[in-house]
């Protein structure tokens, strides 16, 4: 299922897109089915070459977790799977219009649901968040979150709040979570992260001042690490892994 070479298109399929590719969900597990029966309530997601991508739920699947697939699928196929996940979540939360109470339906040509009575549109939730690699010389700031496994460390991250710029969010999150100030914030790259439907905005920043003081609630421990003394880091498929690997590839710099 990872051999697709065509770009994923969000729009409705051309007549040539006739072979169904089903993205089937049950909880956090996903199964991909090619040219198999599709239920009437399946949601159209987009096209991938000649494949019309559809999504639906089915308890009888033996798929993999979406976290595992983040590291295994091609970019375009992963884009299709993530869009399918977002549409399924949106459908489950927007079956009825919040304005007039009518049942909604998938909007033609839009990744959204529309009320046929009053015209209200419902789009999938997308939460912008920052994730930042803070350097101090040739060392990288890594933190252990209370939700991680005992040996896992990652980059400081958090959601952007109303009224903030990306740079302001970076400075605030670092200050709140580990108690230090940073400077020279610059953007690296982004990644859609389907766990809470986040758009992760990866950044670099440099240490400015202060002593590391974990907040004790979200962050338990934190420190600056050299390339040859790294703890366990997030696996492939995550923006955190990509940023750390980029830092390692540059010999402990950006």
The whole-angstrom separation of Cα 14 and Cα 153 is: 46
**In the chain, % of residues over pLDDT 90:** 69
- Percent of all residues in the chain with a pLDDT value above 70, rounded to a whole number: 93
Whether residue 240 is predicted with pLDDT greater than 80 in this model: the reply is yes
**Residue 4 pLDDT > 80:** no
Indicate the range of 140-154, 219-233, 240-254 predicted with least confidence. Answer: 240-254
Lowest model confidence (mean pLDDT) among 72-76, 100-104, 135-139, 185-189: 72-76
| Number of neighbouring beta carbons within 10 Å of residue 85 | 22
The answer to whether residue 9 scores a pLDDT higher than 90 is no
Which residues share a beta bridge with 66?
none
pLDDT band, residue 2 (cuts 50/70/90): very low
User: DSSP 3-state assignment of 151?
Assistant: coil
pLDDT of residue 155: 98
Query: For residue 233, is pLDDT > 60?
Result: yes
In angstroms, the CA 175 to CA 181 distance is 6
In the structure encoding, which two tokens stand for residue 207, read together?
């240490």
* Overall average pLDDT of the 210-234 stretch: 96
Domains and CATH numbers, the chain: 8-93 (no CATH), 127-249 (3.90.79.10)
Determine the pLDDT at residue 109: 74
**Residue among 53, 65, 61, 54 at smallest CA distance from 7:** 53
CA dihedral 76, 4, 11, 104 (to 10 degrees): -80
Region at 184 (left for phi over 0; alpha for psi -120 to 50; beta for the rest): left
Q: What is the pLDDT of residue 11?
A: 66
Per-residue pLDDT of 24-51, as tens digits, reads 999 889 999 988 888 998 998 888 887 8
Q: What is the pLDDT of residue 110?
A: 81
For residue 59, pLDDT beyond 70 = yes
């Amino acid at each position: 299922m990872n051999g697709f070479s065509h770009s994923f298109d969000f729009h409705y399929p051309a007549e040539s897109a006739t072979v169904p590719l089903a993205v089937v969900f049950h909880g956090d597990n996903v199964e991909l089915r090619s040219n198999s029966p599709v239920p009437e309530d399946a949601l159209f997601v987009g096209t991938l070459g000649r494949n019309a991508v559809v999504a639906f739920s089915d308890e009888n699947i033996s798929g993999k977790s979406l976290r595992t697939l983040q590291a295994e699928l091609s970019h375009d196929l992963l884009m299709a799977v993530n869009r399918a996940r977002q549409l399924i979540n949106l459908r489950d939360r927007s079956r009825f219009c919040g304005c007039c109470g009518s049942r909604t339906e998938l909007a033609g040509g839009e990744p959204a649901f529309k009320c046929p009575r009053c015209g209200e549109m419902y789009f999938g939730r997308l939460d912008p968040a920052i994730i930042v690699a803070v350097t101090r010389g040739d060392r990288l700031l890594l933190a252990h979150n209370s939700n991680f496994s005992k040996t896992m460390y990652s980059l400081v991250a958090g959601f952007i709040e109303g009224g903030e710029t990306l740079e302001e969010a970076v400075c605030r999150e670092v200050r709140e979570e580990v108690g230090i100030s940073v400077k020279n914030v610059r953007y690296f790259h982004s990644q859609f992260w389907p766990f809470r439907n986040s758009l992760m905005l990866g950044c670099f920043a440099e240490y400015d001042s202060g002593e590391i003081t974990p907040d004790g609630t979200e962050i338990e421990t934190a420190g600056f690490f050299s390339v040859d003394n790294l703890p366990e880091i997030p696996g492939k498929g995550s923006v955190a892994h990509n940023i750390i690997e980029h830092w390692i590839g540059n010999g402990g710099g950006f």
